[in-house]
Amino acid sequence: MKQLYIGGAWTAGTSERPNVNPSDLSDIIDTYAQADAAMTEQAISAAAAAFPSWSHSGPQQRYDILQRVADEITARADELGDLLAREEGKTLPEAKGEVLRAAQIFRFFSGEALRLTGETVPSVRPGVGVEITREPMGVVGIITPWNFPIAIPAWKIAPALCYGNTVVFKPADLVPGSAWALADILVRAGVPEGVFNLVMGRGSVVGETILSDKRVAAVTFTGSVNTGKHVAAKCVEHMRKFQLEMGGKNPMVVLDDADISVAVDACVNGAFFSTGQRCTASSRLIVTDGIHDRFIDAVVAKLESLKIGDARAAGTHIGPVVDESQLAVDEGYIAKAKDEGGKLVFGGGRVKCDTEGFYLAPALFTETTQEMTINREEVFGPVASVVRVKDYEEALFAANDTAFGLSSGICTTSLKYATHFRRNAEAGMVMVNLPTAGVDYHVPFGGRKGSSFGPREQGKYAAEFFTTVKTAYTLP
């Protein structure tokens, strides 16, 4: 059984939870300790006690630790990728790519520890000096989702430690394996006692304890919209800083002048790879009249060529849905789309494989309208709908007609339309002739409207959340 890590020691939990492979339900990866409220409070106490020393640690110490983490993740990429694919259901290439992304993130923030700067400016008052610096927040509560079980923890933990904060980390229940492996690497990299704490367990227990403890100075959360709203309310109650990354209903516009092979590859990748379980997935395909029928035929042909199966098997393109509950959600949205008048032109049914798992054939709907539930709510599975429009203006309107604003894409060979779309798409990230899913680690990540709240994640912009600004005036 894999234990919790609290105050510099591996610690047994009050119960344990099995980690089940969604590609093969007979495969129990391991059991993982579960924390209760008292153990979570113990972790917060350890982080609070460690903060004064760690917040004044030198940049070289932080650099060295984060570099060692990056080095070990890189060296163990095959092993960790296999674990990730086994517990979450990403294909092996996708899983290894995510692991290497986590290493890149830690390596980037090791460098940021050496690049943290301030400003010295003259005051409007003669003889007075002004110094502007960034300081760590304190104890940071980190709550992560199941769909990127090592990359998202990395892009929260790495900057938190880089800037001198201490961490209480609660991973998603469904994917404790990658989180535990990352914690183990951090411990062996030399993170001091209390600086990093791993508390696995139910959100209603562990997460709620983090949100209710006034010693937690900031909370960064990625997950559902409803839970994000609850996180926000609890943080406002304690007047603490918070950062939310939530849902998406991302559009991909395909114009008549698009290179159809580029458009098909971008749409199939964005909508269906990683089993569609990405907040940046392009689940709404907005296609103009002139290319619509050819595009649908080409997408269906592409989907017919994809292999659905065990995430770790060679040649698999799409692995299983993460668990039975999510599979039921996906099937519910597919049924509702049919009831509301959508035409299912491909997939949507369960797939039988050599092992019992949560396999679902990617579903493609046509003849849908903006008002349908399938185009308003996030499915978070391998399900995409097509909205037919007459021209670019109608496509742009449809793309922006959503409560979300994370990622937005367009496929076109027109510089005019690409430029206009980049400026007028109501999203935090815009892709031209690229999938809506897939981002770099050194630039900001985040959205608008109902998708995100607070400073951006990743890159140098992470400092906006993980530090606070101090302005000091001095009269010599």
The helix (run of H) or strand (run of E) holding residue 252 is strand 251-254
Q: What whole-number distance in Å separates Cα of residue 94 and Cα of residue 206?
A: 30
Q: What whole-number distance in Å separates Cα of residue 4 and Cα of residue 360?
A: 34
Identify the CA nearest to 457 among candidates 301, 300, 263, 279.
279
Active site (catalytic) residues: 245, 279
Structure tokens given for 97: 């790519």
Tell me phi and psi for residue 135, to 5 degrees. Answer: -130, 155
Structure tokens given for 147: 């769909």
| Torsion angle of C-alpha atoms 332, 336, 339, 345, degrees rounded to 10 | -80
Q: What whole-number distance in Å separates Cα of residue 247 and Cα of residue 226?
A: 10
Identify the CA nearest to 212 among candidates 189, 251, 170, 240.
240
* Relative orientation angle of helices 151-162 and 176-188, to the nearest 10 degrees: 30
Given the structure tokens 């409007």, which residue do they identify?
Answer: 124
Q: Check: CB of residue 344 under 8 Å from CB of residue 364.
A: yes
Q: What whole-number distance in Å separates Cα of residue 325 and Cα of residue 360?
A: 13
Q: Check: CB of residue 273 under 8 Å from CB of residue 94.
A: yes
Give the angle 356-316-312 at the CA atoms, nearest 5°.
Answer: 65
